Amino acid sequence: MTRNDPVLAEKVCLALVAEGPTHGWAVSAVLAPDGEIGRIWSLSRPLTYRALDQLAVDGLIKKVGTAPGGGRSRTLLDVTPVGRERNGEWLNEPVALPKDVRTELLVKLTLRTRVGLPLESLVAKQRALFAPLLRGLPSVEEADFVASWRREHLLAIDRFLESVEGSNA
């Protein structure tokens, strides 16, 4: 039985497996601190394997053979049809909160780029979701550090999203 809310680790691992048959070691390399995704959001090798195991239990990925080559045998994993659908939904869904832009949205943008998916639709959805927050920004007094931070953070997110839109036009 599939759980309703898999953690970010499982969502990211699912997206990496959905790129094409791979094995846990390769996924963990991309998620290492110096890996393409790991420089945004990293995951230890044991937690990567735990997430992959849970995805298999949930029926979102499956074992499809063994990777060729010398050394230890590595089990190849591939996404199931349900896993592919779930991954597509997640990659197209904007993040709910501004605090999630630094991790989840940057990861999604990078994952979309890795597989050649356009960024415009996700960026447009994200800007539309945050538009009411931007419109509702009050002017703040100098001494209100929290309100100033929130205001500047939202403005910076919007500038970033606008630059992503512009670079992909």
Q: Can you tell me the distance from the alpha carbon of 67 to that of 12, in angstroms, rounded to the nearest whole number?
A: 21
Structural domain spans, the chain: 8-93, 120-167
Convert the pLDDT of each residue in 25-42 to its tens digit: 999 999 999 999 999 999
Does the pTM surpass 0.85? The reply is yes
- 101 HSE (CA, 13 A, CB side): 18
Q: 13, 48 in Cβ contact below 8 A?
A: yes
Q: Is the pLDDT of residue 69 over 80?
A: no
Pick the CATH number of 8-93 from 1.10.10.10, 1.10.20.10, 1.20.58.60, 1.10.599.10: 1.10.10.10
DSSP tag of 60: S
Mean pLDDT of all residues in 39-60: 96
Q: Which residues contact 36 (CB under 8 A, 6 or more apart)?
A: 30, 110, 114
Q: Is the pLDDT of residue 2 over 70?
A: no
Q: Pick 37 or 64 by higher pLDDT.
A: 37
User: Confidence band (pLDDT; 50, 70, 90) for 5?
Assistant: low
Q: Which amino acid is it at 49? A: Y
User: Confidence band (pLDDT; 50, 70, 90) for 58?
Assistant: very high
Within 10 Å of residue 61's Cβ, how many Cβ atoms? 29
From residue 71, how far is each of 22, 67, 74, 84, 91 by CA, in Å? 16, 10, 9, 30, 34
Q: Is the pLDDT of residue 108 over 60?
A: yes
